[in-house]
Amino acid sequence: MLIVVRLDVHLETAFEQKTTLTAYFKANADTGEIGEEARKHTYQEFPEYFVYNKSQHKWTPRRQRHSALGYMPLTDEELMS
């Protein structure tokens, strides 16, 4: 039995979801200053330097660095991606 998986379809679907993780990837893909700064930090470090805007579904740089305590929980969608 041959199973064919079309990764291009699954990746497109994943990037259509608006989660903190996909917004992190989009910030890293940015070609401007935001992308340059974003690529310096891991996903776990991101909340120290960026704040997530829920209405716009994107990360924006913090005005002041913030020491974030705790952890970043993953949503069910992020776990299944």
User: Would 76 be classed as within a structural domain?
Assistant: yes
User: Would 64 be classed as within a structural domain?
Assistant: yes
In which domain, by residue range, is 52 found?
7-80
User: Would 1 be classed as within a structural domain?
Assistant: no
Number of structural domains found in the chain:
1
| pTM of the model as a whole | 0.62
Give 4-38 pLDDT, tens digit per residue: 666 666 666 665 778 898 899 999 999 999 999 99
User: Would 34 be classed as within a structural domain?
Assistant: yes
Give 38-70 pLDDT, tens digit per residue: 999 999 999 989 999 999 999 999 887 666 555
**CA–CA distance, 7 with 76 (Å, rounded to integer):** 20
User: Would 2 be classed as within a structural domain?
Assistant: no
User: Would 56 be classed as within a structural domain?
Assistant: yes
